[in-house]
Amino acid sequence: MASLNKKVSPSNVNLPNDLVLNILSRLPVKSLKRFSCVQKSWANLLEDPHFVDMYYENLTSKTRDSCLLLNQHVPNTVESYLFLLFGERYENRVKFDWPSPFHEDNESVIVVGSCVNGTICLQQVSMIDTTTSIKVLLWTPKTKEFKVVPPSLTAEPELQFQITITGFGYDHVTDDYKLIQNVLVHALNNDYAEVNPPLPGQFWQIYSVKSNCWRNLDLEMTCDVFPQPVGLAVYLNGVCHWLACEDHNQEPYDTDVLLVSFDMSSEMFVTTPISRYNHHDFCDRYLVVLKESVAVISMFENNNCFDVSILGEAGVEESWVKLFTVGLPTCVDHPIGAGKNGDIFFRKYDGELVWYDFSSKTIKEIGIKGEFCYSQTVML
């Protein structure tokens, strides 16, 4: 029997709907959005709470074997300590030693970005005279090996530099690990600014392990980086992503929050506005990686809710998909990272660090207190 359409062959086996949904719940957001055109019942899958539950579980199941590192900043001090958390409910913790350069002084050590192939980037920032001095290490916790990253700038008497490392990642083309940082330059007095040629204001630098030096990057980027040190950067599949802001020219005091996605090999970037949020509602944002997707945890001050949104495609504003919104008790302050099984960690106003258990819909303390804005979790 001739078929009218050569391409379509009759399907002999049809899977029941629950299996089809199971398969769909494993797809990246981009595929799901495209397949909304397959049939009407697939149009709004990500708005169905039951499907979202399945989807979120798949997003996080791969990380079940990973270890979770908690960087604790002890409240009212500048000390930071590392803990390895494990166990079904993170009930076990082991204090983990910093690499030796931080043994004497563990003041304000933070982890920049994600763990990349088992290595993490550690940064300790201190002000020496008028310049931020950064001690940067690339550290492999498993082998305890570390590499000290040389400083990028020499201090200049009339200038003040503010350095923010926004990305640590891997370039698969050159098989090299790289760091990217933003340098903000201020003149310490106006005379200097007048006499000397216009300051660069802001510029970017890249470091590679193989070259072991920094070089300036010719990057035309109009957005500013956030001064907040943790939660603003992640790495996934050759691309470093970080949060930035850009002043909206049309309306004063309206700042757009953007995601900058920087390809470590091509050294090119795209920006994706984080829309959908009223910029007048104060909101803490924290970047995490869920399986193969970049996600933003947004915590809203006015109603103490947090939501998780996934990026479908870098550079495409419409591709943000909000998975769900959860209300939290008012004692919860801000997110500090994600753990295995998609558990989201928070800090409470009293300093206690907690995680949100999706199955019981409760927050659970882990018995460690942390300082505002500095504590963080890192998936190894």
Partner 1 sequence: MSGISDTERMITLKTVEGTLFDVKSSIAKDLKTVQAFIDDSDDDVTSPIPLPNVFTRELSRILDYLNNHHRFRSGIEKADEEMARYDAEFAKSMSHEELKALILAANYLNVKDLLEFLNQTVADVIQNKSVEFVRNFFGIENDYTPEEEEKLRNENEWAFNGVEQD
Choices 105-113, 261-269, 315-323, 324-332; region in contact with partner 1 by CB under 8 A: 315-323
Percent helix / strand / coil, the chain, rounded to 5: 15, 45, 40
Which residue in the set 1, 2, 4, 23 belongs to the binding site for partner 1 (CB under 8 A)?
A: 23
Segment contacting partner 1 by CB under 8 A, of 12-20, 70-78, 143-151, 165-173:
12-20
H or E element at residue 287: strand 283-290
15, 127, 148, 173: which one binds partner 1 (CB under 8 A): 15
Are 274 and 257 contacting, i.e. CB atoms less than 8 angstroms apart? yes
60 binds partner 1 (CB under 8 A): no
Residue closer to partner 1, measured from CB, 30 or 364:
30
CB 103 within 8 A of CB 148: no
- Of 121, 145, 62, 89, nearest to 376 by C-alpha is 121
Task: State how far the Cα of 311 lies from the Cα of 275, in Å rounded to an integer.
Answer: 11
Q: Which is nearer to partner 1, 6 or 280 (CB)?
A: 6
DSSP helix/strand/coil, 317: helix
Among 1, 22, 89, 121, binds partner 1 (CB under 8 A): 22
H-helix or E-strand spanning residue 100: none
**Contact with partner 1 (CB under 8 A): which of 79, 107, 158, 313?**
313
CB 122 within 8 A of CB 380: no
Given 2, 3, 6, 10, the residue binding partner 1 (CB under 8 A): 10
- The CB-of-269 to partner 1 minimum distance in angstroms stands at 18
351 touching partner 1, by CB under 8 A: no
Q: Does 9 participate in binding partner 1 (rule CB under 8 A)? A: yes
Q: Which stretch binds partner 1 (CB under 8 A): 8-16, 47-55, 67-75, 299-307?
A: 8-16
Residue 47 identity (one-letter amino acid)? E
145-149 β-sheet, strand order: 109-116, 119-128, 131-140, 145-149
318 binds partner 1, rule: CB under 8 A = yes
37 binds partner 1 (CB under 8 A): yes
* Least distance from partner 1 to the Cβ atom of residue 48, Å: 17
Which span sits near partner 1 by CB under 8 A: 192-200, 241-249, 255-263, 311-319? 311-319
How many angstroms separate the CA atoms of 11 and 3, rounded? 13
Report if residue 2 touches partner 1, rule: CB under 8 A: no
Dist CA 22 CA 314 (whole Å): 26
| 130: its two tokens | 């008028």
Q: How many residues does the chain have?
A: 380
CB of 342 to partner 1, least distance (A): 17
Q: Within 13 A of 264's CA, how many CA atoms are on the CB side?
A: 29
Residues engaged in binding partner 1 (CB under 8 A): 7-16, 19-20, 22-24, 26-28, 30-31, 33-40, 43, 312-313, 316, 318-319
